[in-house]
A and B are shown apart, each in its own frame.
Chain A
Amino acid sequence: MIRVQGLGKRFGTVVAINDVTFDAADRRVTALLGPNGAGKSTTLRILAGVLSADEGAATVNGHDVRIEPDLVRANIGVMPHNSGIYPRLTARENIRYYGRLQGLHGEALERRIESLLEQLDMVPFADRRTKGFSQGQRVKVALARALVHNPAHVILDEPTNGLDVMATRALREIILRLREAGCCVLFSSHIMQEVANLCDDVVIIAGGTVRYSGTVDQLREAAGTQDLETAFVQIAGLEEGEQ
C-alpha cells in the first residue's frame, strides 16, 4: 500500500506539486494520469527517494520514505521515465547488478533472474549485450531489473513510452500478472486508452494538484460521459481557454 499525503515540492520558485494526496492499494493497478509537466514524475521520484518533499509525507507499506528510505527502496521496484540500461553489459548482467545492489546473491539470485527472464520472454536475448536492443527489449530489461528483488510495490513512470503495439500488450500482461501476484502497481501515463484497459483506480493530476481520485467507473460517472478521454480532459481542466 502506497499512501501519499499533502505532498508538496518546489524547484526554486516553481511549484512542481502542491498538496498531492492519494492512495494506491495492494492487489490493484493505480494510474497516475496527467498531461506533460503535471507533476507525475516528481511525485514518483519522491516515492523512490531520489527527491525529498518540501511538505507532506509518503509511506510505502507504512514506512516513511524520508525516515526509512532504504527500507522503502527495498520494498519498491522502480522503473523511472526513459530509464537507461548499460549497453556494454548483457541483459542478464544488467539484472544481476541490481539484484546484488538489493542484497541478493548466489544461487537465489541466479534462480530469480532465470525466472524473470522466462516470465518476460527474454531468454532468447538474455546473454546478448544490450547495445542495439529494441525499445521493447530495453524496457523489458529495465522492468526485470526493477522486479529482481520481488518487490510488493512497483512504480513505473510512463513505461509504455516508445513501445510498439506488441510490446505494449506484453507490458500490459506483465502488469496484470503483477496484480495477480498481489502487488501494488502504480504507474504514470498520459494515454487514456492504457488506463482504460489496465487500471482499477485512477488519480488525475494537473498543474501540480490532484483533480480526481477514484475508480475508473466512478470517473465516467463524475464526468457524466462514457468517453474516458473527454472525462480526463474535463477533469484535468485541459479544455481550451482554461490552461
Chain B
Amino acid sequence: MKPFLTVYLKECVDNFRDRRTIISSFSLALMGPLLFVGLMTFMLQKTLGERDDAIHFAVVGGGNAPTLMQRLAAANANAEPITLADDADPRTLVTSGNHDLVLLIPDDYATRQSRGERVTLTLVYDSSELGSASRRARILEGQIEAYSRIIGLLRLQLRGIDPGLVQPISVQRLDVASNAEKALMVLSMVPYFILLVAFMGGFYLAIDTTAGEREHGSLEPLLSQPISRAALVLGKIAATCTFAGASLLLLLAGFYVGLPLVPLERIGLSLGFTAGNCLLIFLVMLPMIWLAAALLTVVASMARTYKEAQTYLSFLVLVPTLPIMFTQLMSLEPTPWMMLLPSLSQSFLISDFMTDDAVAIRDVALSIGSTGLLAALLTRLAISIYQRERILG
C-alpha cells in the first residue's frame, strides 16, 4: 500500500474513534439546518400570523353597543359576553383569574352616543401577566380607536368642519425590516454557515494529526519511517479534508431536507435548494475544504502543544467570515476580482445557487482556480514545515 494511503487510512480510523473529534466535526452540521429552519419558520409565522390570528376577550354589556361589536367581530376580535353583578368591582373579573381581558361597555352607551357625547369604555387586564393579554388589549384598543375616529370624523363633517383640523400631524409607519425580511437575513447566513462547517469539520483532526501527534510522542518514531514527509503530510491533510467534506455533505443534506419546510413561498420567495444545486455548492466548496484543511494543518503544526493549537485555530475559523462580513456591511456587489478571494467567492456562488440564479462559468472557474492555488501553496508550506528539524519541538 502507498505510504500516503496508509497514513490517510490510519488518521481516519484513529479519529473516527475519538468522540471529541466526532462531536466537533458533525454537531455543527447536524444542528445548523435545525437552527435555520426553526428560526426562519418562527419568524415567518410571527409576521404572517399576527394579521390572521383571532383575538379573544370577554365583554360586559356588549348588547349596549351592537355596531361596535359587529365591527370588532369583523376585525376578527371575538367577544365572549359575560355579566357583572351590579355592585361588583370589575377588577375582580380579572384578579379572580376567570378572564384575562375584559371590555366594559356602560349601559348609557347608546343614549350618550345618540346625544353626540363622549363615552368611556374600560379595558381590564393584568399587564404583569405573562400571557398575551397586554398584546391583545393593545390590538383591541387600536380597533376601538379606529372605530371611534370614524364616528368623530362623521360628527365633524355633519357640523361642516374639516376633520383635518383636529389632527394637525399624522405619523405613518414604514418598517422596512419586516419579520419576513429578517427571515431573509437569516437565510443570507446560510453561505457563511457552510463555510464555517468546512473549517470546523476538520478542526480537531488538524490538531490531533499534528500538535497532538507531537505531544503524544508518536511523531519522532513516525518520522523515522522510510516514507517521504510529503506523503505523510498529504495523508494527514487528506484525512482532515475527508472529515470536513463529510461534515459539509451532512449539512447540505440537512438543508436539502429542511429548507423546503420553511414557508418561504408565503413571502413570495422560492429557493433553488435542489439536489443538483446542493451538488454544485459542494463542488465549489471542494477547494475551500482543501484550503481550510491545509491552513489548519499549517497553523496547528507550528503550535507547540495541543492546547496552543486549539487556541490558534479557534481564532482561525473566524477568518473566512471576515470578507463576508465586510461585503455585507458595504453592500458590495460581486465583481470578477472578488471571485479571486477565497471564502468571499464561495459565499457569492452559494447565494446564487441557493436562489437558483444564473451563475457564470467564469466566476466558478476563478473561484475554484484561486482557492485551489492557495490551498496548494499552503499544502506545500505544511510539507516544508515537516521537513524542518524543528518539527520535533
Contacts and interface: CB of A to CB of B under 8 A. Distances in A.
Contact of B389 (A51, A82, A98, A145): A51
B310 to A, nearest CB: 18
B3 interface: yes
Contact of A142 (B15, B18, B221, B389): B221
Contacts of A50: 220, 223-224, 389, 392
B389 A52 contact: yes
B389 A102 contact: no
Interface in B328-354: none
Interface string A102-138: 1101000000000000000000000001000000000
B49 interface: no
B223 A98 contact: no
A98 B13 CA distance: 15
Contact of B10 (A70, A83, A97): A97
B226 A70 contact: yes
A164 B319 CA distance: 50
B138 interface: no
Contacts of B17: 88-89, 129
A73 B226 contact: yes
A28 B152 CA distance: 115
B115 to A, nearest CB: 89
Interface in A39-94: 45, 48-52, 69-71, 73-74, 76, 78-80, 82-89, 93
Q: Which of B218, B223, B225 has the most CB of A within 10 A?
A: B225
Contacts of A51: 389, 392
Contacts of B223: 48-50
Contacts, number: 76
B31 interface: no
B14 A78 contact: no
A165 interface: no
B227 to A, nearest CB: 5
A100 B1 contact: yes
Given A51-B389, A84-B218, A101 B13 contact: no
A101 B392 contact: no
Nearest to A142: B221
A183 interface: no
A135 to B, nearest CB: 13
A55 B6 CA distance: 35
Contact of B18 (A85, A88, A103): A88
B217 interface: yes
Interface in B259-288: none
Contacts of A98: 221, 225
Given A51-B389, A86-B218, A101-B3, A80 B18 contact: no
Contact of B14 (A52, A71, A86): A86
A88 B205 CA distance: 14
B6 A100 contact: yes
B10 A48 contact: no
B224 A48 contact: yes
Instruction: Name, among A71, A74, A78, A101, the residue most crowded by chain B CB atoms within 10 Å (CB to CB).
Output: A101
B218 A88 contact: no
A146 interface: yes
B68 to A, nearest CB: 75
A89 B15 CA distance: 10
A7 to B, nearest CB: 15
A70 B1 CA distance: 17
Contacts of A97: 6, 10
Contact of A78 (B18, B217, B218, B224): B224
Interface string B208-222: 000000001110111
Contacts of A103: 226
Interface string A142-171: 100110000000000000000000000000
13 contacts: A48-B223, A69-B226, A71-B226, A78-B221, A80-B217, A80-B224, A83-B218, A86-B10, A88-B18, A100-B3, A101-B3, A101-B222, A145-B221
- The 10 A-B pairs with the shortest beta carbon distances in the complex, nearest first, are A84-B217, A84-B216, A73-B226, A84-B218, A70-B226, A48-B224, A78-B224, A100-B6, A80-B220, A88-B17
Given A49-B223, A50-B220, A80-B224, 9 more contacts: A49-B224, A50-B389, A51-B392, A78-B224, A84-B216, A88-B18, A93-B13, A97-B10, A146-B221
